[in-house]
Amino acid sequence: MKDFDDAPSFDDFDEIEYPRPEENDFDAIVENAISRRGFMNVMAMGTATFVTGAAGFGKPASAAGRFGFEQVAATTADTVTVPTGFSAHSVVNWGDPLWSNAPEFDWSVRGTPEQQAMAFGDNNDGMTVFTIDGRTVLVINQEYVNRDIANAHRESKLPETDDDVLKGMLAHGVTVVELTQNEGKWTPVKDSPYNRRITPQTEMKIEGPAAGSDLVKTSADPNGTLTRGTWNNCANGETPWGTYLACEENFNGYYSSSDPDIEISGEKKRYGIGVKDWGYGWAQIEDRFDIAKEPNESNRNGYVVEIDPSDPYSTPIKRTALGRFKHENAEVVINGDGRVVVYMGDDERGEFVYRFVSDESYAVGGDTSQLLNKGTLYAAKFYENGRGKWMALTPETTQMSAAEIAVNTRMAGSKVRATTMDRPEWVTSHPNRAEIYVALTNNKNRGIKPNAGGDATPVGGANPREGNKYGQIVRWTPDRGDHTAEGFEWNIFVLAGNPAVHSDNRAGSGNVNAGNMFNSPDGIAFDNNGILWIQTDGNYGNKEDFEGQGNNQMLAADPDTGEIRRFLVGPLACEVTGLSFSPDRRTMFVGIQHPGEKGYDSHWPGGGDTVPRSGVVAVTRDDGAVIG
């Protein structure tokens, strides 16, 4: 990478302290990363000894872990597989009615708009379980719709009528649903006062630097402060003041143009907005999704949306200060000085990792309404020498206005030459120390082609493999343990791979073996015990480069030893995504998304000839002990 040549004085200091490696090959990069002085300081808190493994990388020296379960084998079974001594049961699935007066779902037509509006949506993703007035309330994203499954009764396998389109639209958004546990089993509480469906039609406020700017004004909202709906909510976040953060990811795929010859702006191209949508057909029923008619509507999505689950009548707020990109999750950390720091990834090949730092400090019981409106956004540089630096996105550094930075955040990141990453997915913070992890899921373009903004994607540093098929998890420690610090030290926690098929860098790092291998880490989250849970959204073909890896899965990792152990395997063609715990920590809620996609013959969870349905499972220990 050439970043280092342009670095200012901060990095001149680094150059002296941490000389740039002469070699640039894979082994040298990971060896350099793993042996960094700062990293060893972190490791000294644990008991690990890293030795050079087959890929020149850290291998756990000890087989003794602190997981409390025996690893499950990879499998292609159409079920949820958990270790001996654990059980899993379905809690809620696509189409389950949330109110007693809701019509039962008609599976022959995959539901109607009226049924879907009062039922659990499709493709659940990130989630948080809250305790509100002593009740257990699940808030969960409904990311998107499996078009071919939701429209299986249509020859095109796509929405055809306006009702088909509306039914699909209403399967998106966020669901709030109270849960209760009877005889060990969790079920939804129909008619709970907390139950709520938030959809692409729910009124929402726009706040932060983009609010009121010309960039977000539309014919329906000439003031640029009030919008409708959230969709493609991927992962999530939660704040210490009890709100939920729904993160809008592939919002672009819902826009199309009635004018096939429309000129697409550079800004729209950077976000993947063009003449065709991804098969949802929303412009068929609402003009705002037609970019020829409403060019600014697409500037009103791609944000983090704050939702107060304690008030079912509250208006969700789009927090534009956190930037507009294909948000994965939003990991909220309260810094030592009380400022709110939010770590975020932009899940696209060659896009960036971001950090927001609030101007004001959080105080328990204080006013939190402006904390996520006022602050500074940063994009990350990862240098090859194991150092990193946060680049502020300001009018001075980007020659863009505050509103432009909030709306066209990717372009601001390019202006400061942030490091193009291998699709940043979830970011998560260690519960007991200043240490942040990011899942970089895969990137077939690494070293092959630039990102959509023309930024190069050189092989090296935190993205060390060309055409990266398997992904990696990178972690960093902020300088002085201060989440607002400019600098940090990073290293690679795990390079996923397949050591049964490959012996080069595609075998993965030393903590990957034929027994625990996986590809495409996506959801990552810590439990209270400091175990890092890894969920995958990867290739489930179980052949060639992925032979022996089975269906998508969830693994547990010990950040101190590097040990990784497979805990759960999902059903056929699913993605495992979303993780939260019951208030007593005796239940782990895990999300299963899109079983049976792409024509795979899944009938999870109903079995027989039932329609495959995304849903949430509750995992418990048979001895009733605390699970995380």
- The closest of 393, 321, 320 to 352, measured between CA atoms, is 393
Residue 249 makes contact with ligand FEO by CB under 6 A: yes
By CB under 6 A, tell whether 328 contacts ligand FEO: yes
Among the listed ranges 60-68, 226-234, 275-283, 611-619, the one in contact with Ca ion (CB under 5 A) is 226-234
Q: Which 231-250 positions form the footprint of Ca ion (CB under 5 A)?
A: 234
DSSP state of 168: H
Measured from the CB atom, the residue of 38 and 173 that comes closer to Ca ion is 173
The reply on whether position 248 binds ligand FEO by CB under 6 A is no
3-state class (DSSP) for residue 101: coil
CB of 455 to Ca ion, least distance (A): 21
Single-letter code of the amino acid located at 475:
R
Name residue 303's amino acid. Y
Residue 143 interacts, among ligand FEO, Ca ion, none and using kind-specific CB cut-offs from 5 to 8 Å, with ligand FEO
Which of Ca ion, ligand FEO, none does 422 bind, CB closer than 5 to 8 A by kind? none
Query: Residue 384: which of ligand FEO, Ca ion, none does it interact with, CB under 5 to 8 A by kind?
Result: none
Q: Determine if 425 is a binding residue for ligand FEO (CB under 6 A).
A: yes
Select 436 or 576, whichever has its Cβ closest to ligand FEO.
576
Interface with ligand FEO, residue 435, by CB under 6 A: no
Tally Cβ neighbours within 10 Å of residue 172.
28
Between 224 and 253, whose beta carbon lies closer to ligand FEO?
Answer: 253
Does residue 537 touch Ca ion according to CB under 5 A? yes
Q: Does residue 479 touch ligand FEO according to CB under 6 A? A: no
CB of 599 to ligand FEO, least distance (A): 20
Q: How far is the CB of 269 from ligand FEO (least distance, A)?
A: 20
The yes or no reply on residue 422 touching Ca ion (CB under 5 A) is: no
Report 108-127 residues binding ligand FEO (CB under 6 A): 125
Q: Measured from the CB of residue 427, what is the shortest distance to Ca ion in angstroms? A: 12
Residue nearest to Ca ion (CB): 537
Q: Which residues pair with 141 in a beta bridge?
A: 174
- Strand, helix or coil for residue 188: strand
Report the DSSP beta bridge partners of residue 248: 233
Instruction: Report how far residue 300's alpha carbon sits from residue 226's, in angstroms, rounded to the nearest whole number.
Output: 9
Q: Six-digit token pair at 231?
A: 């969709």
Instruction: Rule CB under 5 A: say whether 597 interacts with Ca ion.
Output: no
CB of 424 to ligand FEO, least distance (A): 9
Q: Which residue has the tokens 């969700």?
A: 316
Helix (H) or strand (E) holding 524: strand 521-526
331-350 residues near ligand FEO, rule: CB under 6 A:
347
Instruction: Give yes or no for a cis peptide into 605 (omega within 30° of 0).
Output: yes
Partner from ligand FEO, Ca ion, none contacting 489, C-beta within 5 to 8 A by type: none
State in angstroms the smallest separation of the CB of 538 from Ca ion: 8
Residue 207 touches ligand FEO, criterion: CB under 6 A: no
Would you say the C-alpha torsion 372, 376, 379, 382 has a positive or negative sign? negative
- Cα-Cα-Cα-Cα dihedral sign, residues 137, 143, 146, 151: positive
Segment interacting with Ca ion, rule: CB under 5 A, options 64-72, 284-292, 297-305, 517-525: 517-525
| Contact partner at residue 560 from ligand FEO, Ca ion, none, CB < 5 to 8 Å by partner kind | none
**Taking the complex as a whole, how short is the minimal distance between the CB of residue 126 and Ca ion, in angstroms?**
8
Residues forming a β-bridge with 488: 388, 478
Question: What is the smallest separation between the CB atom of 597 and Ca ion, expressed in angstroms?
Answer: 13
Q: How many CA atoms lie within 13 A of 526 on its CB side?
A: 21
User: Are 164 and 152 a contacting pair, CB within 8 Å?
Assistant: no
Cβ 412 vs Cβ 379: under 8 Å: yes
Residue 249 and residue 347 in contact, taking contact as beta carbons nearer than 8 Å: yes
Taking the CA atoms of residue 12, residue 16, residue 20 and residue 22 in that order, the dihedral angle to the nearest 10 degrees is 130
331, 356 Cβ separation under 8 angstroms: no
How many residues of this chain interact with Ca ion, rule: CB under 5 A? Answer: 3
Q: Tell which residue, 475, 541, 509, 606, has the closest CA to residue 46.
A: 475
User: Smallest distance, Å, CB 540 to ligand FEO?
Assistant: 15
CA 344 to chain centre: 8
Q: Nearest distance from residue 443's CB to Ca ion, in Å?
A: 12
For Ca ion, the closer of residues 234 and 555 by Cβ is: 234
> Would you say how long the chain is, in residues?
628
Written as six digits, the tokens of 305 are: 């949306």
Query: 366 CB contacts (<8 Å, ≥6 apart)?
Result: none
Q: Decide whether 437 or 488 has the Cβ nearer to ligand FEO.
A: 437
d(CA 312, CA 205): 15
Mind spelling out the 3-state secondary structure of 140-154?
A: EEECCCCHHHHCCCC
- Pairing outcome for strands 304-307 and 244-248: antiparallel
Binding to ligand FEO in span 555-614, by CB under 6 A: none
Q: Note whether 522 binds Ca ion by CB under 5 A.
A: yes
- Of these, 72, 166, 234, 372, which contacts ligand FEO (CB under 6 A)? 234
d(CA 471, CA 505): 12
| The pairing of beta strand 317-319 with beta strand 203-207 | parallel
Least Å distance, CB 234 to Ca ion, is: 5
Q: Report the nearest approach of Ca ion to the CB of residue 373 (Å).
A: 26
Reference 413, options 344, 363, 484; nearest CA is 344
Task: State the minimum distance, in angstroms, from the CB of residue 565 to ligand FEO.
Answer: 24
**How far apart are alpha carbons 236 and 245 in whole angstroms?**
5
- Answer yes or no whether residue 435 interacts with Ca ion by CB under 5 A: no
Binding mask 133-172 for ligand FEO (x = CB under 6 A): ----------x-----------------------------
Tell me the closest approach of the beta carbon of residue 250 to ligand FEO, in angstroms.
7
Which of ligand FEO, Ca ion, none is residue 249 near (CB under 5 to 8 Å by kind)? ligand FEO
Q: Restricting to residues 499-538, which ones interact with ligand FEO according to CB under 6 A?
A: 522
For Ca ion, the binding residues in 319-348 under the rule CB under 5 A are none
Q: Is 619 in the site for ligand FEO (CB under 6 A)?
A: no
Q: By three-state DSSP, how is residue 368 classified?
A: coil
- Residues forming contacts to ligand FEO in the complex (CB under 6 A) are 125, 143, 234, 249, 328, 347, 425, 522
- Residues forming contacts to Ca ion in the complex (CB under 5 A) are 234, 522, 537
